[in-house]
Amino acid sequence: MIIHNDVLIIGDGQAATPLALALARACKSVTVAERRQLGGSCVNFGCTPTKAAIASARVAHLARHADDYGVRVASVDVDFPAVLDRARRIRDRMRGSLADALGPSDNLRLIHGHARFLGRDGDGFRVRIGEDDVISPAVVLDTGTRSVLPPIEGLDAVDFLDAGNWLEHSDLPGHLAVLGAGYIGLEMAQFYRRMGSRVTVIDTASQVLGDEDEDVADALRRSLEAEGIAFALEATVTTVSDRGDSLRLSLQRESPSQPATTLDVSGLFVATGRQPNTDDLGLDAVGVATDSAGFVEADERLRTSVDGIWVAGDIRGGPMFTHTAWDDGRILQSQLLGDARNSTLRTVPYAVFTDPQLGRVGVSEREARATGLRFMAGRFDMASNGKAQEQGDEAGFIKVVVDPDRNTLLGAAVLSADAAELVHVYVDLVDKGASIDTVRDAVYIHPTLAEAAQSALSTARS
């Protein structure tokens, strides 16, 4: 069947559904093509199920420490398959909501199948989706990313976990090695540790979260070590071999004085980065430019090198977060339906959902020093906050970087309980370039963790 429409969206990532619905409401005919499950990485194996699983892990952790609160808990038994079942149920509910939203309508059509460009067709593009050809003058690419597999000898011959398949493995590893000390690696390391696994995190870098300020990264690492997570930093896994009841990893240390070692584990989680799903879209048939890693090249309006083809989500490179992908949908609505003002020139915060959490926005102290910015730095320890003391969440601190000339916030790192929520106090300041007095001089509710966010701004000194 040949289908003619106004806009074709390839991939149902976080930008796709709200964009498709907005276009359909504006009386544009829209086709959404998805080869697997609706919702992209966030719904299917990322944000939704991981945060559900992390919530279960926190309950187990608090139960083990109930004595600290004067509560007696005789024993804590983790039902690991039940934890994953809960995460799957929440995932499935989200999938169902998306399916309902994209249900058949006069202007909106959903096709399940792999999409591939065949070439130009008149003023539009012809794309093969399963048995159908869709011809459209405007195409949005939103196909997401998948795990990068490092060049380790023997890796392709063993079973391992990664961000895409962990939810389908209901056997809890006795000893799990996690390759990669980025946000995925650290979140999953703590999850499996709180489920009952021994965990060793391995990374070639000298610190966890390699782009973060050293003091912030070290404080988070120490918190994870206090829970029994081991770290092998400045180490490279060179080979993996299956020994029947275990996997043997060969590790080469960065320092010549440290000999190569082996580590026997029962499970392996690979979290060494993401690569774009652009290699089988037929982009060369229409001339869409990609970089050396396969990410689609685009300008700040999400226009690719080919007029009429747009890009959204992780495959455009840059920050790979659900919230940036969702905002990409707003940018594309602005381009296709509005005044075209929205762009990727925006403030992008992020969070690491460990415990304590890390919330980050704007310029770090490391970046400020490297670029020669004039700044004042401030720090407030969470142990000095009343609410943190009362609820037993004293770990961490808040760090701010302030422009002394404009009295504005350049950036902040919040390492604390609920940091992913607290950091939004700073997101608004950075995004609008508002004076820090907006927060510092306000009256905040006591007792709250938010008072710490306010107090940190008063500590900034040159």
80 lies in the same domain as 93: yes
User: Does residue 209 sit in the same domain as residue 296?
Assistant: no
- Residue 186: CATH number of its domain: 3.50.50.60
For residues 92-105, average pLDDT: 90
* Cα–Cα distance, 303 to 312 (Å, whole number): 9
Q: Are residues 268 and 279 in the same domain?
A: no
Tell whether 237 is covered by a domain: yes
Q: What is the largest CA-CA distance in the chain?
A: 74
Question: Is the omega angle on the peptide bond into residue 356 within 30 degrees of 0, that is, cis?
Answer: yes
* Average pLDDT estimate for 403-418: 97
Question: 264 and 292: one domain?
Answer: no
CA angle 67, 69, 73 (to 5 degrees): 40
The last residue of a domain, from among 311, 336, 361 = 336
Residue 296 lies in a domain: yes
Q: What is the pLDDT of residue 256?
A: 67
Instruction: With beta carbons less than 8 A apart as the criterion, state whether 300 and 316 touch.
Output: no
**Inside any domain, residue 341:** no
Phi, psi torsion values for 432, nearest 5 degrees: -100, -5
Q: Looking at the domain assignment, is residue 222 inside a domain?
A: yes
**Statement to judge: residues 138 and 210 lie in one domain:** no
Residue 5 pLDDT exceeds 70: yes
Asked, for residue 207, whether it belongs to a domain, the answer is: yes
Statement to judge: residues 267 and 281 lie in one domain: no
Q: What is the mean pLDDT of residues 26-36?
A: 95
Phi, psi of 195 (to 5 degrees): -75, -20
Q: Are residues 184 and 317 in the same domain?
A: no
The pLDDT tens digits for 125-156 are 999 999 999 999 999 999 999 999 999 999 99
Is 343 inside a domain boundary?
no
Structural domain for 293, as ranges:
2-145+275-336
- Percentage of the chain modeled with pLDDT above 70: 99
Asked whether residue 397 carries a pLDDT value surpassing 80, the answer given is yes
pLDDT of 257 higher than 70: no
Same domain, yes or no: 40 and 74: yes
pLDDT value of residue 113: 95
- Across the range 224-241, mean pLDDT stands at 97
**The pLDDT value given to residue 253:** 87
pTM of the predicted protein model: 0.95
Q: Is residue 462 part of a domain?
A: no
* pLDDT confidence of residue 317: 87
Whether residue 432 has pLDDT greater than 90: yes
Our count of domains for the chain comes to 3
What CATH number should be reported for the domain holding residue 380?
Answer: 3.30.390.30
Q: Which of 235, 250, 272 is the last residue of a domain?
A: 272
Residue 442 has what pLDDT?
96
| Per-residue pLDDT tens over the stretch 331-379 | 999 999 989 899 999 999 999 999 999 999 999 999 999 999 999 999 9
- What backbone torsions phi and psi does residue 275 show, to the nearest 5 degrees? -130, 150
164 in the same domain as 266: yes
Please tell me whether residues 397 and 326 are part of one structural domain.
Answer: no
Residue 235 and residue 378 in one domain: no
Distance CA 412, CA 208 (A): 18
> Mean pLDDT throughout 33-55?
95
Q: Are residues 139 and 161 in the same domain?
A: no
